[in-house]
Structure 1
Amino acid sequence: MSNLLYGPRDSSRFIQETGSSESWRDEFRRDFARVIHCPSFRRLQGKTQLFPGHESDFFRNRLTHSLEVGQIAESIAHAINGKQPFFANNPINPRICLTAALLHDIGHPPFGHNGEEALDEQMREHGGFEGNAQTLRIVSQLEKKRFTSQTCPLERRAGLNLTYRTLGAVLKYDRPIGLKREKVDKVAKGYYFEDRPVVDDIKEAVAPGFQGSSFKTIECSIMDIADDIAYSTYDLEDSFKAGFLCPSKILSMDFSILHRVAEKVKKEVNIEDFSATDVLQVFLEIFENHFEIPTDLSPLRPDSKPERILSSLQVMTELDNIATDSYIRTQFTSDLVGSFISGVSITENHELPQLSKVVVDKEILIKIETLKNLSFEATIFSNRVKVSEYRGKDIVSGIFSALAGEKGHLLLPEDALKLFVAARDDRQKQLRVVCDFIAGMTDRYAIEFYSRLYSDNAQSMFKPL
């Protein structure tokens, strides 16, 4: 049976591979296997998601987060195939959605967004740095699965040599990052300017003749919303477990934080009227599905009386069981994920079905964005987290300064050193080699490398870099 979502070049690769006798699996399953077995994927276990891994084995890291995103993305694909007539006849390939989800964070450097900011600051005048752009770079060039030239290490490498459709599923932002940007600019979302040939190849293979301004495949859209769902629920669960948040803290939170959350929700959902009080209302609606909340308990509006707040203390104590009781907390997040998945559908693009877009029920989207941004605001501005963040950014910047300094390249491992030397007088390419090396570090390795550069308690010189 033909499938309008997939074309003849979707399963092709930059380097065509022949001679495979594996009739029992298609090209997209081969992509999945390559991702599972590659070093960049394994290193996600050593990269921070919300809280540093050394704090507790309970908290998610980038690897476990990616596995959860993968399960959600696969479930969304199956759900849409089952409930929308067009996709019943032209089913979305769940394996591509899963693979994209497993890949979506491999470009993130050590120490999360702070490591990303540190690298971008160093590369601001040399093409920038951004996690999603680095993901595309890793899978299409840096991973050591396929290469095009044995003589020149800087010639275009093929990375994992994934199919074009899988590569398209990780291309979240269809815009190049400028080669030079002002120092006051924030991290720019997109792909690296130097990787435009890769993106052009992807577009031509997946959507021949595409001339639009926003290229995003259906699998990428599914991966994107799956990431938001995982972020909004499981980061909240980690915040509950860590004691950073609980329902009573949320419902009595400083209005300045709630206002920041409301502004972000307004922007993401594209609504004009959404206030700090509306943020509280969203949480009450979420919590009341698990507990019998008295009807007279409403968000703390300006006209609320102290007596009403005091009378709600008993209810708040019961609500806090969501944070402290493991069974209730697990059921709470499971129910949220299920309800969020049920609110996802696809708007068909009849001209280019492969670029059809994810649509989320407005009320569900408001809940997702509220939870996601509340978890971020409540933890990221905690002084405990800020100390860890400051240290991480300082470590990344310190390593970059050392490696990019005079003769600093001699500190690079042998394979990275060869790439640096091959760049010769091209300073931008040399700095990109340094940036690629640091971006691939885990949190622990970055700390160790920094210690070997700057600490008085340096490790043995016989331990390999």
Structure 2
Amino acid sequence: MDSSVPRHERRSKYSKKSDDTRTEFRRDRDRLIYSQAFRRLAGITQVVAPQEGQTLHNRLIHSIKVGQVSRGIAEHLAESGFKEAKPFLDPDVAEFAGMAHDLGHPPFGHAAEKELQELMSSLNTDSFEGNAQTFRILSRLCGSYDGRSYGLDLTRASLQATLKYPYFRIVDHREAGRKWSVYRGDRDAFEWCCGEAFVSQIDATAVLPPSNLEAQVMDWADDITYAVHDIEDFARIDVVPLDEMITEGEAWACFSDWMRSKWNMLGWQNADQALEGALACLQAHLPIEQYRRRVERDRLLSGFVANMVHDCIVQTKLKESGAARGFWGLKLKAGREAGSWELIRPPQLKLSVKALKEMVWYFVIDGPGLKSSQVGQRRAVRTIYEYFLEEATRITQGFSHVNLPPATQRSALVLKKKGVPIDAPRIACDALCELSELQASRLYSRLMGVHLGQSDLFSEPQEVGWFHR
């Protein structure tokens, strides 16, 4: 990052009240908590839809837990002798990134993301990416007030920490063609966030910068939380047969064969080592003679989660990274140039967590129970997208009264007033990603003529005052 851009600065230059005792980064966290975009996550799928009736994690609870684990990692590292890394690692920023990282998820999860990518790839070279949508929501869409389009008007540090892949999409690139964190249409926000020199360096060299330290913490916390809490959810309702996994029964054999085949097809290494590590974690924390007694199961599963999260936090280390210095180096007060830092995840534990995540894919996401739902979800996403595309196109034709969710419409009209060209396909994505799954289902029913209603589907209470400023 350009050393001339202060981490604490906001784009609006807004100053807090003199009696506000919160740090700038804590204010960012409060703004997020009070936002409609964060509340919406309560109605977004983690793995199984919230309205299915099971007491499973939704995307909001997952995000809160990722924030908690991110803070735990940051505080552990700060207390473990890595004092020189403190300019790069603030626990409030790490927690914010964990809580905000999934804001860009569309309704219906992975199925919807794939559908939007297919729809957008033929219309827009930026396609669709949940990480880039998160940055767009935070920096432009959520909370656009007073003729501004700064989103939640966050500090640079908090925005940077959400950039898991801090670059634009590059079509056909092995890495930047699959995942990216910024749309080219949001270049102005990206340049303000990281500095024009940072973005120009990417353009000039085509070298992809690594994520900064706080974003690395968020990414590792997301992996940990995804693995252990989803395993806990589906073991409690007997979808993941942990007793057969622990005893290396038929379910373990089938899962192992599937994972080896998948990793081989993708060119991933160390499948056997990952399987051994995952099995060792399960067997260490879930003794089978007790696990088979149903009355003990929930207690053991809670212990498994606590022990796994603890192990992942305390075994995480840091090392200084010269390779990243050119992008994320900061100039300290003494004038010395500080190097960037890289998060070191224990290799075996990292593989074990990856294999635990694969269990959820095998038994749940790719299982037969969700297949039919995903077909219907993709059809709904396509129908809603096409409807919103028509409405967004009307803005480009000069209409101001259009049927779009409030934040999307507000932001689009701000851009139009400033004379910025309107990208109708992108606005259609913005609109869809503002809906909860219940809103999306109801809108789809209306569009298909299944349920005819007249109420405003998009009405939501506005952000609560400006305490979160």
Picking from 400, 420, 425, the partner of 2:385 is: 400
User: Match of 1:49, SS?
Assistant: coil
Picking from 191, 194, 197, the partner of 2:188 is: 197
User: Match of 2:48, SS?
Assistant: coil
The reply on whether 1:340 has 2:290 as its aligned counterpart is no
Amino acid at match of 1:132: N
Farther off after superposition, 84-93 or 338-347: 84-93
2:373 matched to which residue of 1?
388
Distance 1:386 1:347, change over 3 A: same
Amino acid at match of 1:367: S
- CA deviation profile, 1:10-58 (whole Å, cap 9, x unmatched): 0112221136314512211111111110100010000000111122352
The reply on whether 1:349 has 2:321 as its aligned counterpart is yes
Question: For 1:208 and 1:464, how far apart are their aligned partners in 2?
Answer: 36
- CA deviation profile, 1:375-396 (whole Å, cap 9, x unmatched): 2222112111112222222111
The reply on whether 1:245 has 2:244 as its aligned counterpart is no
- Residue 194 of structure 1 deviates from its aligned partner by 1.3
Distance 1:101 1:462, change over 3 A: closer
The reply on whether 1:135 has 2:124 as its aligned counterpart is no
- Residue 141 of structure 1 deviates from its aligned partner by 0.3
Amino acid at match of 1:333: V
- Report if the CA contact (8 A) 1:118-1:393 is conserved: yes
Farther off after superposition, 238-247 or 167-176: 238-247
- Report if the CA contact (8 A) 1:323-1:329 is conserved: no
Q: Which runs of 5+ in 1 are unaligned?
A: 1-5, 151-155, 293-314
The number of residues matched between the two structures is 426
Question: How do 1:152-301 residues align onto structure 2 when only pairs under 5 Å count?
Answer: 157-178=149-170, 188-204=179-195, 213-250=208-245, 251=248, 252-253=250-251, 257-262=255-260, 272-275=269-272, 278-290=273-285
Farther off after superposition, 257-266 or 348-357: 257-266
- Residue 142 of structure 1 deviates from its aligned partner by 0.3
User: Match of 1:236, SS?
Assistant: helix
Amino acid at match of 1:403: F
- Residue 74 of structure 1 deviates from its aligned partner by 0.4
- CA deviation profile, 1:129-185 (whole Å, cap 9, x unmatched): 1110000000100012445xx3xxxxx71111101111100011122125x889xx9
Distance 1:162 1:321, change over 3 A: farther
The reply on whether 1:363 has 2:355 as its aligned counterpart is no
User: Match of 2:285, SS?
Assistant: coil
Amino acid at match of 1:253: A
Distance 1:76 1:177, change over 3 A: same
Distance 1:369 1:430, change over 3 A: same
- CA deviation profile, 1:99-123 (whole Å, cap 9, x unmatched): 1111000111101111111222221
Distance 1:427 1:406, change over 3 A: farther
- Residue 287 of structure 1 deviates from its aligned partner by 2.8
1:144 matched to which residue of 2?
143
User: Match of 1:110, SS?
Assistant: coil
Amino acid at match of 2:190: V
Question: For 1:116 and 1:232, how far apart are their aligned partners in 2?
Answer: 20
Question: For 2:38 and 2:407, how far apart are their aligned partners in 1?
Answer: 19
Question: For 2:265 and 2:158, how far apart are their aligned partners in 1?
Answer: 30
1:298 matched to which residue of 2?
none
1:37 matched to which residue of 2?
34
User: Match of 1:83, SS?
Assistant: coil
Q: Which runs of 5+ in 2 are unaligned?
A: 330-337, 395-401, 460-469
Distance 1:327 1:177, change over 3 A: same
2:399 matched to which residue of 1?
none
Question: For 2:32 and 2:380, how far apart are their aligned partners in 1?
Answer: 28
- Residue 68 of structure 1 deviates from its aligned partner by 0.5
CA RMSD of the aligned region, Å? 3.6
Identical-pair percentage: 25
